[in-house]
Structure 1
Amino acid sequence: MDLTTAQLDFYNENGYLVIENYLSEKEIEILNLELPKTIEKDSPRIILEDNGTVRSIFAPHFINETYLRLSRLERFVLPSRQLIGNDIYLHQYKINTKKGLKGDWWEWHQDFPYWHIDDGIKEPEMISVMLYLQDTDSSNGALLLIPKTHKLGIVKFADKGPAKGPLKYTDHLKNRDYLSSLNADIKFTIDHDLLKDLAIKNGIVTVSAKKGSILFFHGNLFHASNINLSPFDRDAVLITYNSINNLPTNTENPRPEYLVGSDYSPIQILEPTI
């Protein structure tokens, strides 16, 4: 599937694009049935909330064929390739979960600073594709975003103490410091005064959508999400693609492979369905 000129123009102007009913109910049913099979006990791929519930499942494609196929679907790869303007590889893949009445928030941030500072990727032209596995709105932690902020580059961070550089994998295993970019107290959040100014100028959009919908968004777009106040779980798949000409340069002390993909070959597109 190719995006239309109107869709491309909207994305380029606003930094995001929502398409409803992108996957069928049957496909979403399959993905929900397969999701528990992506969780391994005591695996570093599994990030927990402080209350012990699962927050994120990284690299589900490592152990699950259905989620591997999902990342290679023509419907995901072709539009992402259009938006980036080049062949792409899979840089990061995760499932973010918000358990009913327990799922925590994500502070206001941009994604690209982590990929730039921790992974050494130079250009921000990276695409994240967010797939909704349940109906999602403000009650269960829908994504919040500020349009047009992708045009600003990496912005000023909120003061959260001394910045921490990339760690060796062995250090990650010892103290799990890399979780500071994955838990509810993420390390690169947006300066509050700047956030307020842009919210007044551009407004805040709540990206509500039905299950099976997808959201394409730019690596520098301001975004956040609230806690899940509903009694129902809210799960979302996030697949991040990068250009094969925009590879990580932090090769001496890379983050673990479940956070940073190391197969830079162009994605081979699969048939249109999972």
Structure 2
Amino acid sequence: MKLTEEQIQSYNENGYLQIEDYLSSQEVQTLYNELPKTIETNSPRVILENDGSIRSIFAPHFINESYKRLSQLDRFVIPAKQLIGSQIYLHQFKINSKKALKGDWWEWHQDFPYWHLDDGIKMPDLTSIMLYLQDTSASNGALMLIPKSHKLGIVKFANKGSELNPKQPQYSDNWNKDYLSSLNSNIKFTIDHSLLKDLAEKNGIVTVSGKKGSVIFFHGNLFHASNINLTPFDRDAVLLTYNSIHNLPSNTKNPRPSFLVGQDYEPIEHLVAEIK
């Protein structure tokens, strides 16, 4: 599927694009059924909340064929190439899970500062695709964003001082790594609160509710967040981030692990038409 010129213009202007019913109910059900198979015990790919529930599963395509196919889906790859303007590779792939009555928030942040400062990626023109596996609304942690905020580039960070992560997020095996401070509910590069308020007053805050199977394409510098899950039902969202093959990470001295930062820079050429 190719995006229309109107869709591309809307993305460039607002920093995001939502499309409903992007995957069929059968494809979504397949991904939901396969999700438990992406979880490995005592794996650094699995990030836990402080209460022990799963917060994120990174690189599900490492061990699951259905999720690998998802990363090669023509409906994802072709639009990502259009938005980025070049051949692309998969930079990051994760499942964010908000467990019923437990799923924690994601503070207001931009994604690109992590990729720029931690991974050494120079340009911000990566695009992420969020896929809802359940009907998602404000009550169970839908994506919240501020339109047009991507135009500001990397903005001033909140001064968190001693708040910044005395508690590291947990691996299932309790490893403690510096880069974990970008993965928990108290992430390190959050947006200055005064700036956030000013821009929210100017541009408003959009809560991107959607039915299962809907997707949101969004820019790496877009301000976004999500709230806790107050419902008695789990909420799972899949996120894939694509980057240009001409915009590779340059941090080779202390790189983050491959499940956080894709190391296969070959252009995605093998496209698939459906999830199975």
Q: Please, what TM-score do these two structures have when normalized by structure 1? A: 0.95
- 2:80 is the alignment partner of 1:80: yes
1:178 positional shift: 1.5
1:194 positional shift: 0.1
Structure 2 unaligned regions, length at least 5? 166-173
- 2:205 is the alignment partner of 1:194: no
Structure 2 CA distance for aligned equivalents of residues 5 and 135 of structure 1 = 28
- Partner SS state of residue 251, structure 2: coil
Equivalent residues in 2 for 1:139-158, closer than 5 Å:
139-158=139-158
1:161 positional shift: 2.7
- 2:244 is the alignment partner of 1:258: no
- Partner SS state of residue 260, structure 1: coil
- 2:114 is the alignment partner of 1:108: no
Structure 2 CA distance for aligned equivalents of residues 41 and 123 of structure 1 = 36
Indicate the residue corresponding to 1:137 in structure 2. 137
What fraction of aligned residue pairs are identical, expressed as a percent? 73
Mapped contact 2:69–2:272 kept (Cα < 8 A): no
Mapped contact 1:158–1:192 kept (Cα < 8 A): yes
- Partner SS state of residue 42, structure 1: coil
Kindly provide the CA deviation profile for residues 54-85 of structure 1, in whole angstroms up to 9, marking residues without a partner as x.
00000000000110000000000000000000
Structure 2 CA distance for aligned equivalents of residues 214 and 94 of structure 1 = 15
- 2:20 is the alignment partner of 1:20: yes
Indicate the residue corresponding to 1:60 in structure 2. 60
Indicate the residue corresponding to 1:272 in structure 2. 273
What is the letter of the counterpart of residue 128 of structure 2? S
Indicate the residue corresponding to 1:169 in structure 2. none
Structure 2 CA distance for aligned equivalents of residues 141 and 235 of structure 1 = 10
Kindly provide the CA deviation profile for residues 182-234 of structure 1, in whole angstroms up to 9, marking residues without a partner as x.
00000000000000000000000000000000000000000000000011100
Mapped contact 2:96–2:236 kept (Cα < 8 A): yes
Indicate the residue corresponding to 1:168 in structure 2. none
Indicate the residue corresponding to 2:33 in structure 1. 33
Structure 1 CA distance for aligned equivalents of residues 252 and 187 of structure 2 = 23
Indicate the residue corresponding to 1:126 in structure 2. 126
Kindly provide the CA deviation profile for residues 116-159 of structure 1, in whole angstroms up to 9, marking residues without a partner as x.
00000000000000011000000100010000000000000000
Indicate the residue corresponding to 1:167 in structure 2. none
Mapped contact 1:130–1:238 kept (Cα < 8 A): yes
Indicate the residue corresponding to 2:171 in structure 1. none
Mapped contact 2:116–2:122 kept (Cα < 8 A): yes
Structure 2 CA distance for aligned equivalents of residues 11 and 208 of structure 1 = 17
Structure 1 CA distance for aligned equivalents of residues 218 and 254 of structure 2 = 28
Structure 1 CA distance for aligned equivalents of residues 247 and 209 of structure 2 = 32
1:175 positional shift: 2.7
Mapped contact 1:133–1:212 kept (Cα < 8 A): yes
1:268 positional shift: 2.0
Structure 2 CA distance for aligned equivalents of residues 144 and 110 of structure 1 = 12
1:160 positional shift: 1.7
Indicate the residue corresponding to 1:71 in structure 2. 71
Which piece of structure 1 moves more, 30-39 or 174-183? Answer: 174-183
- Partner SS state of residue 175, structure 1: coil
RMSD of aligned C-alpha atoms? 1.3
Structure 1 unaligned regions, length at least 5? 165-172
Mapped contact 2:73–2:271 kept (Cα < 8 A): yes
Q: Number of residue pairs matched?
A: 266
Mapped contact 1:77–1:269 kept (Cα < 8 A): no
1:174 positional shift: 5.9
Indicate the residue corresponding to 2:183 in structure 1. 182
- 2:34 is the alignment partner of 1:43: no
1:270 positional shift: 2.1
Indicate the residue corresponding to 2:168 in structure 1. none
Mapped contact 1:138–1:206 kept (Cα < 8 A): yes
